[in-house]
A and B are shown apart, each in its own frame.
Chain A
Amino acid sequence: MLAQSNNGSEQPVSRRNFLKNSGLVLGGLVVGGVAGSLLNRQQAPAPQVPGATPAPAADFNQALMFFTPEQFKVVDAACERIFPEDESGPGAKALGAAYFIDHQLAGDWGFNARDYMQGPFYPGEVTQGYQGRLKRREIFEIGIQEMNNYSNSTQKKRFYELTPEQQDAVLKAFESDEVKLTTISASAFFKMLRASTLEGIYSDPLYGGNKNMDGWKMRNYPGNQMAYTQVIEKDEFVKMAPLSLRDHQH
């Protein structure tokens, strides 16, 4: 039922589809010329699938503030495996979770701006929490590189070129610390990736994820409603169309 409404509503052409349709193969090295042609082609009208509703206005939020295109592809693919598209609705990719993470890493959160980052730095007990000197954006950069390194060493491919099953195996190797890294903890990176994927799926769409509020729709979360006084005592489940902060009027 929800999947239907997702298919029926305007599903904007995702960056992945655009790249696919535009015939660009981005498996190899990204060089200046390719990036240039990408920019040019993005301004062309989005190709339409026959029978689909007209494409909506461009989503100016879907551009990169921090990641390189290569880093973005790794994160986009990993997020999709963490929260894949299925019969209940879109996955992390269509919801824009990787754009969300990119935007977050570009700001305060990525710089650990409100965390205590003064030394001295000592390794602590697990119960004392993170004691490293690296910022979240640096952890992501290292983690993404290591995901590609591990994929290359085991499958001779980049992470996003692997089959979904192979990608899951890589993520599991990180989750379980089977991958041994020197600068960061593989499992801690995985945890951060998983947590920020969920944030990208379920935060208000103003942050670049949870596209069309589809993350909320899948779990019947009504988003930003002003009052539930009429609902709170009801025995039956009350389903309502979600509202975002943009809808906010009071």
Chain B
Amino acid sequence: MAKKLPKVDVVIVGVGWGGGIIASELTKQGLTVVGLERGKERKTEDYFMVHDELRYAMRYEMMQDLSKETITFRSKTSVRALPMRSYGSFLLGTGLGGSGVHWNGQTFRFLPYDFEIRSKTIERYGEKKIPDGMTIQDWGITYDQLEPYFDKFERMAGISGEENPLGGKRSQPYPTPPMKMTPSIKMFQEATKKKNLHPYMMPSANLSEAYTNPDGVSRAACQYCGYCERFGCEYGAKADPVVTVIPIAKKTGKFEIRTHSHVRRILHNGKKATGVMYTDVTTGEELEQPADIVVLTSYVFNNARLLLMSKLGRPYDPATGKGVIGKNYAYQVIRGGAVGFFDDKEFNLYAGAGALAMCLDDYNGDNFDHKDLNFIHGANISLSQLGLRPIANNKVPEGTPSWGKDFKAASLKYANRFLSVGAQGASMPFRHHFLDLDPTYKDVFGDPLIRITYDFEEQDRQLAAYCADKCGEIVKEMGATEKIEINKKLGPYDITPYQSTHNTGGVIMGASPDTSAVNNYLQMWDAENVFVVGASSFAHNSGYNPTGTMGALSYRAAEGILKYRKSGGGIIV
């Protein structure tokens, strides 16, 4: 039997962005919070030797150990799901700070259209515009309702940026100015302005200047070292939970973090949770942590998996469309893009930052007319300079062999002479895209793995091809010497090449318990003292990185938890 520990006000499962924000907001109000984190402790000093592409980028130093736990995947229900044995399509974070440590820092607000996608699509194009099987739904919240929380997240993280001319209304400007512009970014700006598009500097969590946030946390400016995604920041210049919200929660004396603590079940009586059961992975001991409120703040997959394993909430059934846990899994359509080679220019491409980019939303959301198009939504189009590291970046013009003398010559020649314009496509949910428990494959504890059933649809192929053409036009305008490659073909979803760690859905928010798992405070309809925080709450994924919206929703959830605590029970409205 599990050893029972003393009860606390709140237990949170996973200490990344979601867990850190919830912990800081609740402890400031005097609640006692225990954070259970399956991975290890992390601090800025860990990154003294971080400029190591092999260790961090190729060998996934910061990621979940797949030998202990992975996911299984199939394209459709008639195919046998098989485990993702090594990393490819997306990377699963672990340890203190979670994926919030190895991210790039590209921090967007989803568009007003996103939160009311079904209503607004029908309003403009009629119900027929939504193809059979596409399960888009409104989120049960509007952009205007969420705006103050976006602002709160941006101020905490110190986001550097300028107003998006085609985005939702802002209550105030970004707390810090945009990052520095590189020659390639200026070329993108000129080319897109000439085409009457609306470029703006990408909102960045890599600080453009030293910044002190409202909590009093001071951080240094980004040094453009070119090691963001898959790496931790040795300067603390990239906002992450370990250098922002977690120390604030700790300072209150009300937040206890237990690392190496792997939560395996939510304990409940069918109506309310009573706490969680977890394993201390250093000893193998099973422990019970009772709490008044349970907050799930792990990654998308584990939020859904923990609910399913704990038999809490109604599992989604794709055959009937009923049930909610596992519903509306979505991803990102990342393949549409264009590459230009420049024989006569050499760029300092080794330098950069995770969110150093210029982008535009002329082809995102419903900012353009879809009447004659065979898809809805779109993509944020950008030119970024993240720092090209040499193992992963050996781009050669099409037709060049992939090894040997000619490969060597071309890969050296173009190492600093190619620019890409990419489209980050939105991903719409479909009735047959979902998460459930795998019947065969187990984790290191013998618990079932989560199973993904997902493939690209005609919607995605049309979107990718359309946006790839737009990217191609921009690259042409930028003056690439004859060689331009436009990547229009999406193909089937393949779990092997890296695409994006923007998995969403599974525990979605909405206005009704019939169609959603949580309300707009991320409170579970079926268990009022359980809150499920993360991109798991997204009813679809937009043409943007998810963290900005996920961070805003975390602040909203924190407010909901405090309201719930004060009201003494019930579903909060």
Chain A residues at the B interface, C-beta cutoff of 8 Å: 81-84, 86, 88, 91, 108-109, 112-118, 120, 122, 124-131, 168, 171, 175, 194, 197-199, 202-204, 207, 215-216, 218-229, 231-235, 237-238, 245, 248, 250
Determine if B53 is an interface residue (Cβ-Cβ < 8 Å): yes
Contact among B80, B223, B350, B404 with A124 in the assembled complex (CB-CB below 8 Å):
B80
Pick the residue among A118, A130, A198 that contacts B442 (CB under 8 A): A118
Task: Tell me if B477 is interfacial: C-beta within 8 Å of chain A.
Answer: no
Bound complex: CA of A233 vs CA of B496, how far in Å? 35
Inter-chain residue pair count (beta carbon < 8 A): 167
Q: Which residue of A84, A114, A218 has the most chain B CB atoms within 10 A of its CB atom?
A: A114
The residues of A that contact B183 with a CB separation of less than 8 Å are: 233-235
Q: Could you list 11 A-B pairs, sorted by A, with CB under 8 Å?
A: A112-B86, A116-B84, A120-B440, A203-B54, A227-B223, A227-B224, A228-B348, A228-B351, A228-B352, A233-B183, A250-B234
- Selected interface stretch from B60-68, B281-289, B331-339, B506-514: B60-68
Looking at the complex, which one of A108, A228, A232, A248 makes contact with B49 (CB distance below 8 Å)? A248
Give, as a whole number of angstroms, the nearest-CB distance from A175 to chain B: 8
Interface presence of B182 (CB below 8 A):
yes
A233's closest neighbor in chain B, by CB? B180
Q: Are B66 and A228 in contact (CB under 8 A)?
A: no
Q: Top 5 A-B pairs ranked by shortest CB distance?
A: A228-B351, A227-B223, A203-B54, A202-B390, A219-B415
CB <8 Å contact, A116 and B48: no
- Chain B, range 26-82, C-beta contacts under 8 Å to A: 48-49, 51-54, 58-60, 65-67, 69-70, 73-75, 79-80, 82
What 0/1 readout, one digit per residue, does chain B (172-204) give for beta carbons within 8 Å of chain A? 000000001111000000000000000000000
Q: Which of B58, B67, B69, B82 contacts A113 (CB 8 A)?
A: B67
Contact of A207 among B54, B67, B411, B492 (CB under 8 A): B54
B residues whose Cβ falls under 8 Å from a Cβ of A: 48-49, 51-54, 58-60, 65-67, 69-70, 73-75, 79-80, 82-86, 88, 180-183, 221, 223-226, 234, 346-348, 350-352, 356, 390-391, 394, 402-405, 407-409, 411-412, 415-416, 440-442, 492-496
Contact of B416 among A122, A175, A194, A220 (CB under 8 A): A220
**Smallest CB separation, B204 vs chain A (Å):** 13
- B390 A228 Cβ-Cβ under 8 A: no
Q: Select one of B75, B391, B415, B440 contacting A198, CB under 8 A.
A: B391
Distance (Å) between the CB of B328 and the closest chain A CB?
A: 21
A221: B residues at CB distance < 8 A: 350, 390, 415
- Specify which of B86, B356, B404 is in contact with A168 (CB 8 Å cutoff): B404
The smallest C-beta distance from A247 to any residue of chain B, in angstroms, reads 10
Contact call B86/A129, Cβ cutoff below 8 A: yes
A231 touches B404 (CB 8 A): no
Residues of A within 8 A of B494 (CB): 126-127
Complex: chain A residue closest to B182, CB-CB: A232
* B164–chain A nearest beta-carbon distance, Å: 23
A93 to chain B, nearest CB (A): 13
B224: contacting residue among A81, A168, A224, A228, CB under 8 A:
A228
Chain A contacts for B492, CB-based, 8 A: 127
Question: How close is A228's CB to chain B, nearest CB, in angstroms?
Answer: 3
Chain A, Cβ-Cβ closest to B496: A129
Contacts of A237 in B (CB 8 A): 346-348, 416
Assess whether A202 is in contact with B391, with CB atoms less than 8 Å apart.
Answer: yes
Instruction: Verify B65–A232 contact, CB threshold 8 A.
Output: no
Contact of A127 among B53, B223, B496 (CB under 8 A): B496
Q: Does B225 lie within 8 Å of A225, measured CB to CB?
A: yes
Residue from A120, A126, A219 having most chain B Cβ neighbours under 10 A: A219
CB-nearest residue of chain B relative to A222? B350
Q: Nearest B residue to A225 by beta-carbon distance?
A: B225
On chain B, the residues within 8 Å of A81 by CB distance are 403-404
- Complex alpha-carbon distance, A86 and B409, angstroms: 9
Q: Are B86 and A115 in contact (CB under 8 A)?
A: yes
Per DSSP, chain B at the interface is loop
> Which residue from B88, B408, B411 sits with its C-beta under 8 Å from A129?
B88
A85 CB, nearest partner CB in chain B, Å: 9
Contact between chains at B54 and A199 (CB < 8 Å): yes
Chain A residues near B442 (CB-CB < 8 A): 118
CB neighbours of A114 from chain B (8 A)? 59-60, 65-67
Give Cα A124 to B441, complex, Å: 14
On chain A, the residues within 8 Å of B52 by CB distance are 203-204, 224, 245
Docked-complex contact A127 and B495, CB < 8 angstroms = yes
Q: Are A227 and B74 in contact (CB under 8 A)?
A: no
- Residues of B with C-beta under 8 A to A171: 403
Q: Are A128 and B409 in contact (CB under 8 A)?
A: no
Q: Which B residues lie within 8 Å of A91 (CB)? A: 408
**Distance to closest chain B CB from A136 (angstroms):** 10
List 11 extra interface pairs beyond A203-B53, A225-B225, CB under 8 A. Answer: A114-B65, A115-B85, A116-B86, A130-B86, A215-B390, A219-B415, A227-B225, A228-B351, A237-B416, A245-B52, A248-B48
In whole angstroms, what is the CA distance A237 to B342 when docked?
A: 13
> Considering the chains assembled together, what is the distance between the CA atoms of A112 and B52 in angstroms?
20
Among residues of B, the one whose C-beta sits closest to the C-beta of A235 is B183
The reply to whether A219 and B51 form a contact with Cβ atoms under 8 Å apart is no
Determine the chain A residues whose CB is within 8 A of the CB of B234 once the complex forms.
250
Q: Which residue of B lies closest to A168 (CB)?
A: B404
List A contacts of B495 (CB < 8 A). Answer: 127-129
- How far, in angstroms, from A109 to B49 measured CA to CA in the complex? 20
* CB-based contact A219/B223 at 8 Å: no
Q: Which of B80, B84, B350 is within 8 Å of A122, CB to CB?
A: B80
Chain B residue nearest in CB terms to A221: B390
Residues in B with CB closer than 8 Å to A245 are 49, 51-52
Take A109-B59, A129-B84 as given contacts and tell me if A234 and B348 are in contact as well, using a CB distance cutoff of 8 Å: yes
Report the separation of the CA atoms of residues A235 and B73 in the bound assembly, to the nearest whole angstrom.
46
A126 CB contacts on chain B under 8 angstroms: 494
Asked whether A115 and B390 contact (CB < 8 A) given A129-B495, A199-B54, A220-B415, the answer is no
Chain B residue with minimal CB distance to A123?
A: B82
Measured CA separation A131–B80 after assembly (Å): 12
Cβ B390 vs Cβ A219 within 8 A: yes
Nearest Cβ on chain B to A101's Cβ, whole angstroms: 12
**A129 in contact with B85 (CB, 8 Å):** yes
Chain B nearest CB, measured from A160 CB (Å): 17
Chain B contacts for A216, CB-based, 8 A: 390
Alpha-carbon distance between A245 and B409 when the two chains are bound, in angstroms: 27
Query: CA A245 – CA B47 in complex, angstroms?
Result: 12
Chain A residue at smallest Cβ distance from B59:
A109
**A199 engages B403 (CB within 8 Å):** no
Residues of B within 8 A of A82 (CB): 403-404, 407
* Contacts A117-B85, A128-B495; A202 near B224 (Cβ below 8 A): no
For the complex, give the distance between the alpha carbons of A197 and B350 in Å: 21
| Inter-subunit contact B416/A117 (CB<8 Å) | no
> For B352, what are the chain A residues with a Cβ–Cβ distance below 8 Å?
228, 232
Known: A122-B82, A126-B494, A194-B403. A202 touches B53 (CB 8 A): yes
